[in-house]
Amino acid sequence: MSRPRHILPGFGLSLGYTVLYLTLIVLIPLATLFWKSASGGFGAIIHTLTDKQVLASLELSFGASFVASLINGFFGLITAWALERYDFPGRRLLDTIVDLPFALPTAVAGIALVTLYSVNGWIGSLLVNSDIKIAFTPLGVTLALVFVGFPFVVRTVQPVIADLSLEPEEAAACLGANRWQTFTKVILPPILPSTVAGMTLAFGRAVGEYGSVVFISGNLPFKTEIAPLMIVTKLEQYDYAGATTIGLVMLIASFMILAISNYLINRNLRRFAR
């Protein structure tokens, strides 16, 4: 059986460059991470992973990232829907502002959040009267992660909403479906995979976030100390094996979440393609 001919030749060369690029940029650095983590021996890995301060930082990073991704999934979907389905004054400006966390340096974002939400800040000073404190608390960490992850959901869902046809919605309305039924049965199923994908991207971005969180968290051990800061602390103490061990845990957990998310998305797409 003859091989199919492609219009554009060069598959072997393109594949070779792709594998070489991924090897140099992704595989070798990740392999080095595994190797450096194991350099201190299995006992050193267990010692790092059972350290209460390390466990507290990992719990905060993953927990706050998960909560932030849920918040971004809800509000990101609403924002994407408003930008694609409605025409209103300032729409283009709002669409541009959504990308601001992409362009804004993370340190600048952290300083801006502290300026707004600290006890003496514009918003924080108003919330203090209600006994709500954001800066230097886990709530402040979550707020910073919501800020950096929000565009991922919007930009992932927006093209899918733009491609949705209005005919199924009109048909559902003609058949007597109310707005909630139309949304849950007609609109939500095709956009749910992209929403989950955007939430996963937001989660992955949030887990490794450092610049915008380190200012508003206050870096209090066992309270607001994030895992990326623990990595920096280990490096400053010349504990390279401990730093890479924490990084390895974050890498494995993030990879598993991405794998599960991609599996659910592909299964959902196959179901609606039938």
Q: How far apart are the first and last CA of the chain?
A: 30
122 within domain boundaries: yes
Cα(141)–Cα(60) distance, integer angstroms? 9
Q: What is the pLDDT of residue 173?
A: 82
Whether residue 7 lies inside any domain: the answer is no
Let me know if residue 100 belongs to a domain.
yes
Measure the CA–CA gap between 197 and 160, rounded to whole angstroms: 12
At position 106, the amino acid (one-letter code) is: T
Q: Could you report the per-residue pLDDT of 58-68, keeping only the tens digit for each?
A: 999 999 999 99
Take residue 55 and report the two structure tokens written for it: 């466990």
Convert the pLDDT of each residue in 99-127 to its tens digit. Answer: 988 888 888 888 888 888 888 888 888 88
Whether 25 is covered by a domain: the verdict is no
Q: Is residue 20 part of a domain?
A: no
Predicted local confidence at residue 81, as pLDDT: 92
Q: Categorize the per-residue pLDDT at 9 as very low, low, confident or very high, splitting at 50, 70 and 90.
A: low
| Residue numbers of the domain that contains 129 | 30-273
- What pTM value is reported for the model? 0.85
Q: How confident is the model at residue 238 (pLDDT cuts 50, 70, 90)?
A: confident
Rounded Cα distance between 238 and 230, Å, is 12
Whole-Å CA distances, 41 to 12, 35, 54, 250: 41, 10, 18, 19
Domain count, the chain: 1
The CATH number of the domain holding residue 55 is 1.10.3720.10
Residue 274, pLDDT score: 59
| Confidence (pLDDT) at 145 | 94
* C-alpha–C-alpha distance, residues 221 and 103, integer Å: 30
Give domain status of residue 211, yes or no.
yes
pLDDT at 56 over 90: yes
Identify whether 13 is part of a domain: no
Tokens for 28? Answer: 């070798």
DSSP string, 83-106: HHH---TTHHHHHHHHTHHHHS-H
Q: Is the pLDDT reported for residue 172 higher than 90?
A: no
219 within domain boundaries:
yes
CA distances from 60 to 57, 220, 263 (A): 5, 12, 26
Answer whether 74's CB lies under 8 Å from 177's CB.
Answer: no
